[in-house]
Structure 1
Amino acid sequence: MTSYRRWTLRTEHTAYTVRLAPDDTWAELHAWGPHGVEEGPSALDWSRRTHFITPADAAPVEYLPYGARPFTGADLVAGRPGHDRGVWWTFADAHEGDGSLRLTFTDDVLGLRTALCYATVPDTDVIHRWTELTCTGDEELRLERLDSAAVNIPVTTGARLTYLTGQWSQEFQRTQLDLTRGTFTMGSRQGVPGHAYAPWLAVQDAAAPRDAPAPAYGMALEWPGNWHFTAEAEPGGAVRVRAGRVPHEGAVHLAPGDTLVTPRLACAFSADGLDGLSRVWHRYERRLAGDRLHRTRKVLYNSWEATGFDVDASGQLELAKAAADIGAELFVVDDGWFTGRTDDTGGLGDWHPDPAAFPQGFDRFVDDVRALGLDFGLWVEPEAVSPGSRLYAEHPDWVYRIDERPARLVRNQLLLDLGRTDVQDFVIATLDRLLTDHAVSYLKWDMNRPPTERGRPGAGPADRLDLDAEHVAGYLRVLDHLRAAHPDVTVEGCAGGGGRIDHATLARTDVVWPSDNTAPLDRLSIQFGFLHAHAPHVMSSWVTDAPGVFDPRPRSLAFRFVNAMCGVLGIGADLRTWNPEQRAEAARWIARYKEVREVIHRGEARLLGCPADPTCGVQYDAEDGSRTVVAALSTGRLDGAPLVPGRPDRLRLRGLTPDAHYHDAATGATYSGAHLLHYGLPFAWSADHDAELVVLIRQ
């Protein structure tokens, strides 16, 4: 029997074991799963006899370059400019710490040192993986591929991939594909994660029944720029996933002595299927929030859908008064508050309140809003600039552009080169001024324009610039400054909806905006996918009057509220058009939400069914198990009488104690845990009743 050098990383419930190949040429996965899975022969072991491929192409390697792994998917492609590409390294050393591991390989001919880095995240089942690349020679290196990690999935008959797809206004659609042979890839070259795919992937065995909680392996890339995931069903039935950033310019140059650190790839495992995996991600994101998790996420009113660009003090105050009356705690003025912003053709970059809109002064307006008992917030898009703005006239060189080529307008605007330090300093100074000169406690950071002509004239050859990484670094520098200089300000991340949602952004913001689509059944599908990857406490969701775009079936105001209460509740409707009965109903729902939001934001969430089912919902269990909150929604037809014999629909709950009892104070009903687990909660839907929020008290 071959003897391997092995290292095991342990999380709360899982073990991840890496071993060194006998000839010290690579590291490979030995086992990944629940505690104890590493005891015994590796399930990923492979035959040393290979035909037409190399042993490295068949092995479950953790990370290998082109040269050592030429056929089935290399994770690193590097070489010296003007020379042949390829890395042939040998093992140098290993450093094992408390929950960490660092394996170093060197290629002295090329002049490259590569460190494969691992770190467990305390109190979670997440392991970070990343790679550090150091140029040790006298000549620079050209890196054409620089993935963060490769993840081997111990499946037997191919992989079932679950991923999140979409487009603007239809983000986070849960999509599944069985991959038994071939390659699947997804990603973005828009300078942000994008609306088409989320940088998140779950993998299960394709042979597992779709309705069974088959073990699930998950990956999420911490990178708000260009990225890719590539899953390959390799020879012998192995499935391997590569993930990393994608340089916009096609390659990155690494100077002698410099080190490049790739984005972190978070890797997670749950024996309880996709639903269990979602709770692993939720716990991880609660940890990312740190102390900010314990801040109350206030009920928000945003004025955009009511007024659009038609912003003036009297109209906004009328909305603020209506919002305060129904129980909102925060009033956010969206686009249109600053000079020159009467439509989407002007104003961006000139971030000063419009004196015509606030004739008694902006601070007087803010004070009037706050006198209603509301916090105050503003919308900004600091990366964008309008061609007619004063900022653009003074600094035309600050935008991305290519000499002697036309500048393309997207949404009538250009994009600032946030990789430039002077642009970062301008954005920081602008936000500092707004947050210190005015009593602003909430900032909604939007981005509605990805880079197109991505160049920086005068900065040297374009192929030697790493503009994508520099923009990401600038974006994160500004967010880090906001967190440090304005720790009490709540920051919302938005990019035309859900275009820039990743763990780097989530670690620096308080909430994110999953989509500009707020229609009830459309939003239900968006939130269902979102909650697979992200936690309820970061999901901003509004109640509006928006009609359905993709699913136009009408739903009640109650449905809209219960659906929005599954995350961080906001209101975006024009309250001036609501009658007294609608406002009274809204006030009741907001009051109920305030009673349970801590359970929703800090408890354990379970997805009950899916939007394709006639009834679906989300279950939230308090940390101490004392309360269970169920948001239940009817997605089926509501017209006509129920079928004979007309029994109510039921949602089977999960994770309860079978011999405990759970009391619903609203109805007086008491259920055993066994009853709720086996039969479920009953719901008698009708045309007038399509949603419920149930609060169960454990007795």
Structure 2
Amino acid sequence: MNRWTLRTATSSYTVEVPEHGRWAELSAWGPIGVEDGPSPLAGHGRTPFRTAADAAPAEYLPFGLRPFGGAELDVRRPGGERGSWWTFAGERSADAGELRLAFADEQLGLEAELCYRVVPGTDVIRRWVELANTGEGDLLAHRLDSAAVNVPVSAGARLTYLVGQWVQEFRLEQVELERGGFALGSTQGVSGHEYAPWLAVQDSADADGPATPTWGVSLAWSGSWHIDAQVDSGRLLRVRAGREPHEGEVLLPAGSTLTTPHLLLAFSQEGLGGLARVWHAHERLESGERGLRPRPVLYNSWEATGFDVEQDGQLELAGIAASLGAELFVVDDGWFTDRPDDTAGLGDWEPDPAAFPDGFGAFVEKVRGLGLDFGLWVEPEAVSPGSRLLAEHPDWVYGIDGRPVTLIRNQLLLDLGREEVCAHVLSWLRKLLTDYPISYLKWDMNRPPTERGRRGDPLPRALDLDAGHVANYHRILSTLRREHPHVLVEGCAGGGGRADAAAVAATDVVWPSDNTGPQDRLAIQYGFLHAHAPQVMSSWVTDSAGYFDTRPRSLRFRFVTAMAGVLGIGADIRAWSAEERAEAAQWIARYKGWRETLHRGEVHLLGAPREDTCGVQYSAPDGSHEIVLAWNSGALGGLPLLPGRPDRLRLRGLDPAARYRDESTGVEYGAIHLTHAGLPCAWRPGFDADAVVLRRC
């Protein structure tokens, strides 16, 4: 038997190929040392009414070898039978951080390399598969997942996932799965608002303990996708994840190779909070030097002016924003020609001369003269029906010959997979960034693809349109990052509609939701922080009441909420009183002083927004202080008039021997007190949130 162990910072992942050589199996996955002994995933060999492959903790199997339990690869020749029956073809690479295992089906003409790579300094392993057509004829893949992972669950599985809809993304939910299946995904060409391509797994028997082993997967794919989980009769949970080809099958021509998206695997012994910190560490490491750049405090004019963008009004807002301490001014939708509303203008990306009579360049320089950097909203993948671009290139949008097209938000979607479309989008973005001193782009996408065919092409299935669109989206972002390294990019798709691991890595910040109401936003951010780090979470202070919980909250509450990630302001600050502006300036100044810890510190999620009191704790990388953002998300009526005691937040991750002093009040606490009794939160009307800095004595 061949056996390999990959080791991360604190965990290990052991793979073996049994003597029969027909597949690879997971032997152990957990804390370092779990591999020292017989595999906890191995069965006793009895598989009535199933094959051995259906019961095995296999890493990746084709339909044919695994006919009943769900296969990761379903491939056939055109006009031929489904299925592949392969055998181990050898170890192609094996070192401390990388492993490649090859399997071949010579009769079909298929080779698959199972690829593993440890992300150094983290508890994350990347997995993917490279499929090669080694035969003389074409192959068609109906399913081509990235990986399967297996977890033994003695009492069934507790699955934690992120669910929602537009303006209600990233709601954390759980399901107990004793037997049977669970599935989630998107067919919208992006990760979508309804589910995130992320899943956490715990054994139900251990899920409520203080130190709960927790496994996680996150799919790095900015197109359609699926994740499904199955608990079998042997109490083995199997999770499979991969892309979802819109065309139903993907063509693999003779002599070609196809690489599946990366599936990120993570492990923590510290429950969902510990798993979140593993994901945060991974995102920070992946961002490299760009991740160390401070994210500027921005002002975005959308909620103040909507489509009514004109020079004087924007400059008035910019002047007030600068006086508050903002560092960046972003003009949102409406800055380009023929854009009175959302029915026209997309595709013709030229500044509106009527809105900027002195010239757009002069306007930008006036903003910069206020001490602000300048940013713009763009939607490069979209086009309006009446645009010049569409009139000149009607075949550049998705469509099926002879069939009507569907408008969503009064717009169509460009077929970005076409090389000429990709070149056009890259050209005008380059020109925009060259002509004007722009340091920030908000890249939006406000509709999914429909009628997804390529006009004039008789075989749209062979084109793999989803993969082409995704590849060129990332190609454009990569090119802009290389050619304009000073420009920060905010990823947005009608809110949090494109927030997979690959999209997050390709941008600098992500807009989690179009819902900026403070109570609603608190729940959105709570879920988001389970999957992504705070330095990529863009959050604004606005005057919006929200969509679901419209209870009014103080300006303090709104600022503390937005400070949990990358602080921005989107309110109509012209209408704020002098007192409100002064308070805003104080919060912005405090945030700038805390930004390094808020973005780089270790995060502990304290409670949940469904509880009356919740918070987020940020531990400084050097251990010198803790920052606690806390909110009262319950009712405030009657406080503190009735008998009672302050709510408390129990902090985590503190050195038991340490002592801390509250920077504002001077009160000192022992770490044991803060861990077991908690930090007091004396809520009252008008004081519904707090930001506390605890300096280590």
- Calculate the TM-score normalised by the size of structure 1: 0.99
User: In the TM superposition, what is the alpha-carbon distance from 1:465 to its structure 2 partner?
Assistant: 2.0
> In the alignment, which residue of structure 2 is the partner of 1:8?
5
RMSD: 0.9
The 8 Å contact of residues 252 and 258 in structure 2, kept in 1 or not, is answered as yes
Shift of 1:127: 0.2
Counterpart residue number, 2:94: 96
Match of 1:447, SS? coil
Which secondary structure state, in structure 1, belongs to the residue aligned with residue 90 of structure 2? strand
| Residue 379 in structure 1 maps to residue 377 in structure 2 | yes
Q: Of 31, 45, 58, which aligns to 1:34? A: 31
- 2:289 is matched with which residue? 291
2:80 aligns to what? 83
Q: For residue 385 of structure 1, what is the amino acid of its counterpart?
A: V
- Partner Cα separation in structure 1 for residue 54 and residue 244 of structure 2: 23
Q: Aligned residue for 1:55? A: 52
Q: Tell me which of 578, 581, 603 is aligned to 1:580.
A: 578
Give the one of 274, 277, 282 matched to 1:276.
274
Match in the other structure for 2:550 = 552
Q: Return the match for 1:421 from 419, 422, 428.
A: 419
Q: Which residue of 1 aligns with 2:334?
A: 336
- Offset, 1:474: 0.8
Hey, what's the Cα distance between the residues in 2 that align with 1:570 and 1:644? 37
Preserved CA contact (<8 Å) 1:288 1:506: no
Counting only pairs closer than 5 Å after superposition, residues 206-355 of structure 1 correspond to structure 2 as 206-210=204-208, 212-355=210-353
| Counterpart-to-counterpart distance in 2, 1:72 and 1:141 | 23
2:206–2:212 contact (8 Å) kept in structure 1: yes
CA distance in 1, matches of 2:550, 2:628: 25
**Aligned ranges 1:93-132 → 2 under 5 Å:** 93-94=90-91, 95-132=93-130
Deviations 1:43-75, CA, capped at 9 Å, x for gaps: 111021110000110010001010000001111
Match of 1:496 among 494, 497, 502: 494
Name the SS of the counterpart of 2:343 in structure 1: coil
Hey, what's the Cα distance between the residues in 2 that align with 1:78 and 1:466?
Answer: 15
How far does the alpha carbon of each residue in 1:83-129 deviate from its partner, in whole angstroms, 9 at most, with x for none? 11110001010120230000101000100001110000000000000
1:40 counterpart letter in structure 2:
G
1:643 CA drift (Å): 7.6
Maintained 8 Å contact 2:646/2:680: yes
CA contact (8 A) 1:213 1:274 kept: no
How far apart are the structure 1 equivalents of 2:412 and 2:18? Answer: 51
Partner of 1:683: 681
Q: Secondary structure at the match of 1:406?
A: coil
Give the superposition deviation at 1:215.
0.9
What residue is the counterpart of 2:62 in the other structure? 65
Task: Indicate conservation of the 8 Å contact 2:639/2:683, yes or no.
Answer: no
Inter-partner Cα distance in structure 1 for 2:359 and 2:286: 39
Give the aligned residue type for 1:130.
Answer: W
In 2, distance between residues paired with 1:420 and 1:125?
A: 38
SS, match of residue 151 in structure 1: strand
Amino acid at match of 2:670: S
2:508 aligned to which of 510, 531, 548: 510
Distance 2:491 2:469 in 1: 16
Q: Using the alignment, how far apart are the partners of 1:41 and 1:642 within structure 2?
A: 59
CA distance in 1, matches of 2:484, 2:289: 15
Instruction: Decide whether the 8 Å contact of 1:58 with 1:235 is kept in 2.
Output: no
- Report what 1:191 is aligned to: 189
Shift of 1:464: 1.8
Unaligned runs of 5+ in 2: none
- Correspondences of 1:628-639 after superposition (within 5 Å): 628-639=626-637
1:617 aligned residue:
615
Decide whether the 8 Å contact of 1:222 with 1:265 is kept in 2.
Answer: yes
Q: Which amino acid aligns with 2:329?
A: F
> Which whole-Å deviations, capped at 9, do the CAs of 1:138-184 have from their partners, x for residues lacking one?
11111010000001012211110000000000000001001111111
Question: Which residue is equivalent to 2:526?
Answer: 528
Secondary structure at 1:325 match in 2: helix
Q: How far 1:209 moved relative to its partner? A: 4.5
- Displacement of 1:235 in angstroms is 2.5
1:570 equivalent in structure 2: 568
Contact 1:548–1:554 (Cα < 8 Å) also in 2: no
Select which of 689, 692, 695 maps to 1:694: 692
Report how many residues are paired: 696
Paired position in structure 1 for 2:358: 360
The answer (yes or no) to whether the contact 2:663–2:692 under 8 Å persists in 1 is no
Residue 24 of structure 1 corresponds to: 21
Contact 1:558 1:691 in 2 (8 A): yes
Partners of 2:26 and 2:59 within 8 A in 1:
yes
Work out the CA distance in 2 between the residues paired with 1:612 and 1:302.
Answer: 29
Structure 1: which 5+ residue stretches go unaligned? none
| Residue identity matched to 2:623 | G
What whole-Å deviation, never above 9, does each CA across 1:268-325 have from its counterpart, x for those lacking one?
A: 0000000000000000000121101111111000000000000000000010011011
Alpha-carbon shift at residue 553 of structure 1 (Å): 1.4
Preserved CA contact (<8 Å) 1:167 1:195: yes
Give the share of equivalent positions with the same residue, in percent.
64
- One-letter amino acid of the structure 2 residue matched with residue 655 of structure 1: G
Mapped to 2, the partners of 1:575 and 1:114 lie a distance apart of 58
> Matched residues in 2 for 1:362 and 1:643: separation?
56
Alpha-carbon distance in 2 for matches of 1:643, 1:608? 26
Helix, strand or coil: the match of 1:232?
strand
> What's the counterpart of residue 589 of structure 2?
591
CA gap of 1:644–1:339, structure 2 versus 1, over 3 A, is: closer
- Structure 1 residue 613: deviation in Å? 1.1
State the secondary structure of the residue aligned to 1:289: helix
TM-score normalised according to structure 2 size: 0.99
SS for the counterpart of 2:568 is strand
Distance 1:127 1:209, change over 3 A: closer
**CA distance in structure 2 between the aligned counterparts of 1:312 and 1:354, rounded to whole angstroms:** 9
| Structure 1: distance between partners of 2:453 and 2:546 | 39
